[in-house]
C-alpha cells in the first residue's frame, strides 16, 4: 500500500483555461489516502524509524486539520502503530470518521482554541505518555519528501517543455518549501505563486509569530481569522514554511477568498470532471487569476491537494440537495415506469 504514495498525475484543463494559456493541475487525490499529506505522513514515520526516534510498538500522536491525520492513519495501520490525533472540532465530520475508520483515536479540541489549541493538546499527550510526536509543522521530513518526490515528478512531467508558473497554497509549508528548492535549482525561470486566505493573511502581514526552542508556536498569529479553506493556513506560521520565507522560495503571494475557492472547486467538478476540495478550488482560483494576466503561450501548473469527498459536510456541498429537484421529478414522471 505504501509503495503507491506519490507519482500523481498532471492533468490538462480543457474547458476552463483562458485562450492562449495552458493550465495543468497536479491531482494529489490520486495518492492512496487521497491527499498530498500521504507523502508527508510516510516521510515522517519512515524518517523516525531510521533515526530511532520512533520505537517499535510506540504510539504516534499528531495535531491535524484532517489530511495529515488520514495519511498517518493509513501509514500507521499498514505498519502496525497506534495513532492518536488531536483536531479542532470545527473541521469536517467525515475527516474524523475516516481517521477512526483507519483505526486512529481522535481527540477533539474546542474550536475557540483554533489550531494552536490542537497542537498544544498533542504536545501534552506526547509528553505525558512518552508517545512519538509527528511534528508536521516543524520536522525536516516534511519539506524533504517534497524535495525528493513532488519536485522531481514535476521536473519529469515538464522535461523539455515550457513551464512558467507553479501555484500552491500552504498548510504546513512543506509543499512550497520542498518543491521550491527543486524549482529554484533546476527550473529557475518558473515563477512560484503562493496563496493564503484573504481574511487570514499571515504572510501578507509581515508579522512572524513567537516560537519556542523546538520551533513550535507559542501563540496564535495576530492576523488569523477563521476561514473555510480547511487544510490551509493554521493560526500560526509553521517552522517548515519559514524556510520558504527566508530563502525567497516564492515570487508572488496572492490572497484568495474562501467563496472563490468554493466556486472554482464546483466548476472544476462540473466542467472538467475533476473532484477537489476547497483548498484545491482556492489554488485553482489563484491559478486562473494568474492565467488571465499571463502572456500568451504561458504554461501554469496548479496543485490540487485532495478530493472533494472530504468536504461533504462543509459549505462546498451545502447547496447540493439530497432529494430530487423539480426537474429531476419531471424526468422521473416522463416515462411509464414512474412510481412516485
Domain range annotation of the chain: 2-30+150-317, 37-133
Alpha-carbon gap, residue 71 to 66, rounded angstroms = 9
Residue 217 Cα to chain centre, angstroms: 20
What CATH class has 37-133?
Answer: alpha beta
Cα first-last separation, the chain? 45
Residue 114, pLDDT score:
86
Alpha-carbon gap, residue 217 to 138, rounded angstroms = 10
What CATH class has 2-30+150-317?
Answer: alpha beta
Residue 195, pLDDT score:
98
**The domains spanning 2-30+150-317 and 37-133 adopt the same CATH topology:** yes
| Tens-place pLDDT, residues 313-332 | 999 999 999 999 999 999 99
Burial (Cβ within 10 Å: 0-12, 13-18, ≥19) of residue 267 = middle
Residue 91, pLDDT score:
85
Residue 65, pLDDT score:
83
Residue 209, pLDDT score:
85
Residue 338, pLDDT score:
66
Other Cβ atoms closer than 10 A to 226: 14
Residue 336, pLDDT score:
86
Residue 268, pLDDT score:
98
Residue 105, pLDDT score:
97
What amino acid positions are annotated as catalytic residues? 37, 279
- Residues lower than pLDDT 50 in the chain: none
Question: Binding site membership for pyridoxal 5'-phosphate: which residues?
Answer: 67, 171-175, 279
Residue 72, pLDDT score:
98
Residue 116, pLDDT score:
84
Kindly report whether the global pTM for this prediction surpasses the value 0.75.
yes
Alpha-carbon gap, residue 15 to 238, rounded angstroms = 36
Residue 340, pLDDT score:
57
Amino acid at each position: 500500500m505504501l509503495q503507491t504514495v506519490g507519482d500523481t498525475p498532471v492533468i490538462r484543463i480543457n474547458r476552463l483555461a483562458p485562450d492562449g494559456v495552458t493550465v495543468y493541475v497536479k491531482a494529489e487525490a490520486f495518492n492512496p489516502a487521497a491527499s498530498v499529506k500521504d507523502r508527508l505522513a510516510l516521510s515522517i514515520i519512515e524518517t523516525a524509524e531510521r533515526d530511532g526516534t520512533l520505537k517499535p510498538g510506540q504510539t504516534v500522536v499528531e495535531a491535524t486539520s484532517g489530511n495529515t491525520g488520514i495519511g498517518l492513519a493509513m501509514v500507521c495501520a499498514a505498519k502496525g502503530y497506534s495513532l492518536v490525533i488531536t483536531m479542532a472540532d470545527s473541521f469536517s465530520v467525515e475527516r474524523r470518521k475516516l481517521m477512526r475508520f483507519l483505526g486512529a483515536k481522535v481527540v477533539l479540541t474546542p474550536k475557540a482554541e483554533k489550531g494552536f489549541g490542537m497542537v498544544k493538546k498533542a504536545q501534552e499527550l506526547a509528553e505525558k505518555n512518552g508517545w512519538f510526536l509527528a511534528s508536521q509543522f516543524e520536522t525536516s521530513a516534511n519539506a524533504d519528501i517534497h524535495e525528493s518526490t513532488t519536485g522531481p515528478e514535476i521536473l519529469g512531467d515538464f522535461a523539455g517543455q515550457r513551464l512558467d508558473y507553479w501555484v500552491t497554497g500552504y498548510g504546513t509549508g512543506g509543499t512550497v518549501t520542498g518543491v521550491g528548492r527543486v524549482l529554484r535549482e533546476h527550473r529557475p525561470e518558473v515563477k512560484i505563486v503562493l496563496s493564503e486566505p484573504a481574511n487570514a493573511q499571515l504572510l501578507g502581514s509581515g508579522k512572524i509569530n513567537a516560537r519556542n526552542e523546538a520551533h513550535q508556536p507559542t501563540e496564535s498569529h495576530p492576523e488569523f481569522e477563521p476561514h473555510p479553506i480547511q487544510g490551509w493556513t493554521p493560526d500560526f506560521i509553521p517552522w517548515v514554511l519559514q524556510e520558504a520565507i527566508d530563502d525567497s522560495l516564492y515570487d508572488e503571494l496572492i490572497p484568495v477568498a474562501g467563496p472563490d475557492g468554493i466556486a472554482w472547486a464546483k466548476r472544476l467538478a462540473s466542467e472538467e470532471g475533476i473532484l477537489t476540495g476547497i483548498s484545491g478550488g482556492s489554488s485553482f482560483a489563484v491559478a486562473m487569476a494568474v492565467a488571465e494576466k499571463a502572456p500568451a503561450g504561458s504554461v501554469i501548473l496548479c496543485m490540487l491537494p485532495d478530493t472533494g469527498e472530504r468536504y461533504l459536510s462543509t459549505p462546498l456541498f451545502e447547496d447540493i440537495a439530497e432529494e430530487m429537484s423539480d426537474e429531476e421529478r419531471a424526468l422521473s414522471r416522463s416515462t411509464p415506469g414512474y412510481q412516485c
